[in-house]
Structure 1
Amino acid sequence: MAKQRDDFVDLIVDNLQLFCPATAKRMFGGYGIFCGDLMFALIIAGELYVKVDDENRNLFEEKGLEKFSYLRQGKTCYLSYYTVPEEVIDDLDTLSYWAGLGYEAALRANN
């Protein structure tokens, strides 16, 4: 039986339409969020994470946002994705700003 997308994924994709024609694809036990072919965000366990790199990581760390982690063979592993502030989810302009940070990091990583 195919697993249905949850309401949070639909909300994020809908709210990101101001930023780009965002889509969600099932992966990593959650969803990758894409603008075209470029993945710039993840939704895992009801949390939105965006791509970070050396150019924007300090902003996320200064705000105390959480880095995406998972367990693999009993060891904690990290990906270059951080949560966004919870209050931005329903503010389309602010969500677009944070999504833009992730998109720019994904573009830099793709070059």
Structure 2
Amino acid sequence: MAFDAGLLDWVIETLEPMGSVTHRKMMGGATLYLDGTVFAIISSDDVLWFKADAESDALWDAAGCDRFTFEMKNRVASMNYRRAPDDVFDDPDAMREWATLGLEAGRRAPAKKPKVTRRAR
């Protein structure tokens, strides 16, 4: 299943004053980057999720934005992403405000460690 290209186009158009939005397809959805920093994902069911962290959680909670969860075997797991508030879909200023929170969380996230390849002995 492919994600909604119209949603991606809206994000790109709305955030253009902030920088360049790019994406990488991932498990039926897409990871979104703003000038190279992960700030959001679009899930395979066409939901926009902004990156969050402990510093921004209170703001997401106050806005009633659910945490991204998924089922794994016998448990429910979660990731540091929050469902976009409804107003981002028709208010460019709201989109930029919430995307900024996601961008800031992305910038605070620890850098990924490079993959270590083992050489045969």
C-alpha contact (below 8 Å) 2:66/2:82 kept by paired residues: yes
Report the TM-score when normalising by structure 2: 0.80
Q: 1:9 to 1:65 in 2, by over 3 A?
A: same
Higher relative strand content: 1
Matches of 1:56 and 1:5, distance apart in 2: 27
Paired residue for 2:29? 30
Taking every aligned residue pair, what percent have the same amino acid on both sides? 28
Q: Per the alignment, in what secondary structure is the counterpart of residue 31 of structure 1?
A: strand
Kept in 2, the 8 Å contact 1:15–1:90? The answer is: no
Which 4+ stretches in 1 moved above 4 angstroms?
A: none
Give the TM-score, by structure 1 length.
0.86
Q: Which amino acid aligns with 1:96?
A: R
Q: Structure 2, unaligned stretches of length 5 or more?
A: 112-121
What amino acid is the match of 1:43? I
> CA RMSD for the aligned pairs?
1.8
1:68: which partner in 2?
68
- How far apart are 1:30 and its partner, in Å? 0.7
Amino acid paired to 1:56: S
Structure 1 spans left out of the alignment, 5+ residues: none
Counterpart position of 1:86: 86
Report 1 or 2 for greater relative contact order, CA contacts < 8 Å, sequence distance ≥ 6.
1
Alignment partners' CA distance in 1, 2:3 and 2:39: 22
